[in-house]
Structure 1
Amino acid sequence: MSTSNMQSIQHSNYSDIYHLLYDNEKLSKQDIADTLGLSLPTVSSNLQKLTARHLIVKNGQLKSLIGRRATAYAIDPNVSLSVGVEIFRTYATMTVLNLRNEVLALHTTNLPFANDDQYAQALCQQLLAFLRNKGFSLTQISGVGIGIQGLISNDGTTILYGKILDCTGMQADNFGQYLPFPVTFYHDADCVAVAEYANKPTDGIFLSISEHIGTAIIINGRVFKSPSGRSGTMEHITLNSADGPVCYCGRRGCIETYCSVSSLLQPNEDLGTFFADLHQHDDQVEARFETYLDYLSEAIYNLHMFVDLPIVIAGELTKYLSESHVTALKQRLKKLSVFPETSGYLQRGSVVDHAVAIGAAIPAIQNQLQNI
């Protein structure tokens, strides 16, 4: 056997053992050997290497009915961390995730957005202070993902179109110059989809409903992207292009204008207040919500006709959307359907808080894991 083949096998064993431990809470040497079909000396040698690199730790002992209890091994999920940032007009939220996508820390800063160097520097200074205050070492951080309302180049370096925040042309390097780790931009809707997928792996259309609407498609576990960066912008499909409400994109009657949180709420109203009034059976609020569900079901059905995949309602709305509301939507969809349908293609997401920040942090974690 050639030296290169031997090295490849050794690396494969090393990687296989780590990822087996990643998929399990903890295992003994014998468990690993039996599962992977490796000898105990091979397992021991690789466990020593993984321990020396602080990727795994000894984690107590496993229960045994006979004989000595075996030493348990587990990954150290905090050996490498990732930062996710969600940027909005008046504030930004940053979060730290470990290798198991667990949120270790969260911080929101009231920092008004501006497409200039002063904003980038201020945000980075607050990010570094946040990390120091929480006791994280900068050497632990593998990267920073920034989720923002805009279309992003496929390499994550440039905002190609950012009408909502007027951020077209902004570069990830605007932030990277102030940080000791790489910075990557992500479309906020893609971040929400990634966060939902990490929590429950499901290919589909992810309809992120917050102040604005964003859509993303995940196929075979990957966000679908096009060279132009416009893939998944289904929120600008129109329900009434002739005399519908004017969208921020300049057209009339986009799904955005009928199904976003902004379209549901009145001035100075928030979702918490709206749903509190809904639960009190306020007649005007109930009527407004019924109309909203009518439009939302029309939008969902149109999307389902384009791409026959599950549709996941995600974003801020999921924090308030009950199972009875989902049932009401499903009843509307059943009436709209002209083809035989499988039940259950509509699902409710489960990441109810800071999905953009969480989803922005996950790609750096995935890259770390793929390189082990």
Structure 2
Amino acid sequence: MREHKLSQQLAGRKFGCYEPRVTIDDAPRDGLRGGPRELLRLVASGAAVSRADLARLSGLSPSTVSQRVEALISEGLLQETGAGKSRGGRRPRQLAVPTGGALIGAIDLGAHHARLGTLDLTGRVVEARTRPVRIEDGPEAVLGALLDEVAALTPAATVPGQRGGAAGSGLRGIGIGIPGPVQYDTGRIVSPSRMPGWNGFDVREFCARRTDVPVVVDNDANLMALGEHRAVHADLDHAIYVKAGTGIGAGVISGGRLHRGAQGSAGDISHCRVVADPGPLCSCGNTGCLEAVASGAALVAALCEQGVPVEDLTGVMRLIDDGDRHATALARRAGRSIGEILAVVVNFFNPQVVAIGGRLAECEPLLASMRATLYERCLPLATQALLIERVVTGPDVGIMGAAQLVVDRVVDPA
């Protein structure tokens, strides 16, 4: 019965960049399309500059659009910027997303470094910086220091509709990416393999208490996927984004929306087995996992075992650039291992694009080996139109995804 009703609702509708997309974990509460966050996206993208544009693109009635626009204006998420050109009758009042005052704080936490910054409500990066971190110092010390830096980047400005917040903080919310499994509904970290002292820590509650603004927390690969998809592939419905650095993870876009699965672990390819016993021991306690073979940490460990002095992933990349045969061979092997896992994903999921980001995406031997393995192992139908490419948004892709997630939650907190 439920499927029949849904098919009736969708009958005759065309699906495109701004058309309805329905998923279990990210559908608007108030219908298949035209929810508040969708209206905000239409204005932020430049596709709509007036209420009439929003009604035409969303299919909603003018009165419904007006109600939702007024609510967004009252929250400080939209503003009227003057009168546009008339096509007969009254000149329409133009709409825009405010670019001053209201800011989103964003933190993309890695194993050794964090990218943090502030962005406006359109997703434009206002200021960003990278700082070293010691993940082993524990969540309170690491997050506390990063939150202080975000606060230092925020000018003293009040924000209309701000929920709480220190006086003049100017923040509408903070988005945080974590390099480990995150239970999205609770904001808790669950059994991270490379984050001693972080298991079970409630990141959302800790950060919300420190800042008194809404906080959203997700896996870092998910935020990379969200940031790159919105910026580069918004017209594609199905995509896989792989983050390959010290560790390895992936984010999944399905039906045009971020897909987390039932508990938030969708896309966690790091502990899929690629080497039969006796494979290398993984940080999770199993053997032969992808992360134990193909991650930056695995490459460092393998080179050290071969007597090649290297301290970190930067050193590995330098060796590969210099043509070191040991490092290059390991990079090619890592690319093949990643490709073998992604071949299963591509055959099963049939995405339109597979994009790889993170430090290892800069490694051409790895990327070439991964691409060749995908074409070798996948069905021709699955790869005949498949895009295989690097993430192109740059180092800010994670904080861009974090900020977008905050905007989505502020507009529609369901």
State the TM-score, normalizing by the size of structure 2: 0.69
Alignment partner of 1:250: what SS? coil
Task: Please report how far the alpha carbon of residue 343 of structure 1 lies from its aligned counterpart in structure 2 after TM superposition.
Answer: 2.0
State whether structure 2 residue 207 is matched by structure 1 residue 175: yes
Residue deviations 1:157-197 (CA, integer Å, cap 9, x gap) = 32122221121011132222211212232112212221122
CA distance in 2, matches of 1:284, 1:158: 40
Question: Residues 295-314 of structure 1 correspond to what in structure 2 (within 5 A)?
Answer: 295-310=337-352, 312-314=354-356
CA distance in 2, matches of 1:233, 1:37: 37
Question: Residues 272-287 of structure 1 correspond to what in structure 2 (within 5 A)?
Answer: 274=316, 278=320, 281-287=323-329
Equivalent in 116, 122, 147 of residue 94 of structure 1: 116
Q: What's the counterpart of residue 24 of structure 1?
A: 46
Whether the 8 Å CA contact 1:300–1:311 is kept in 2: the answer is no
State whether structure 2 residue 241 is matched by structure 1 residue 219: no
Q: What's the counterpart of residue 187 of structure 2?
A: 157
* Residues 157 and 276 of structure 1, relative CA distance in 2, 3 Å threshold: closer
State the TM-score, normalizing by the size of structure 1: 0.76
Q: Which runs of 5+ in 2 are unaligned?
A: 1-29, 160-164, 304-309
* Residues 245 and 368 of structure 1, relative CA distance in 2, 3 Å threshold: same
Alignment partner of 1:258: what SS? helix
Whether the 8 Å CA contact 2:117–2:125 is kept in 1: the answer is yes
Q: What's the counterpart of residue 196 of structure 1?
A: 228
Residue 126 of structure 1 aligns with an amino acid whose one-letter code is E
Residue 279 of structure 2 aligns with an amino acid whose one-letter code is G
Q: What's the counterpart of residue 393 of structure 2?
A: 351
CA distance in 2, matches of 1:83, 1:281: 40
Whether the 8 Å CA contact 1:59–1:71 is kept in 2: the answer is yes
State whether structure 2 residue 247 is matched by structure 1 residue 247: no
Equivalent in 249, 263, 268 of residue 298 of structure 2: 263
Whether the 8 Å CA contact 2:360–2:366 is kept in 1: the answer is no
Task: Please report how far the alpha carbon of residue 112 of structure 1 lies from its aligned counterpart in structure 2 after TM superposition.
Answer: 2.8
- The higher radius of gyration belongs to 1
CA distance in 2, matches of 1:284, 1:13: 54
Task: Please report how far the alpha carbon of residue 96 of structure 1 lies from its aligned counterpart in structure 2 after TM superposition.
Answer: 1.4
Question: Residues 357-372 of structure 1 correspond to what in structure 2 (within 5 A)?
Answer: 357-370=399-412
Residue deviations 1:206-229 (CA, integer Å, cap 9, x gap) = 2211110012322221323223x4
Whether the 8 Å CA contact 1:154–1:225 is kept in 2: the answer is no
Task: Please report how far the alpha carbon of residue 59 of structure 1 lies from its aligned counterpart in structure 2 after TM superposition.
Answer: 5.6
Aligned residues: 358
Residue 105 of structure 1 aligns with an amino acid whose one-letter code is E
* Residues 112 and 336 of structure 1, relative CA distance in 2, 3 Å threshold: closer
Equivalent in 148, 166, 169 of residue 178 of structure 2: 148
Residue 197 of structure 1 aligns with an amino acid whose one-letter code is H
CA distance in 2, matches of 1:185, 1:34: 34
Alignment partner of 2:154: what SS? helix
Bigger drift between 186-195 and 360-369 goes to: 360-369
Q: Which runs of 5+ in 1 are unaligned?
A: 1-7
Residue 222 of structure 2 aligns with an amino acid whose one-letter code is D
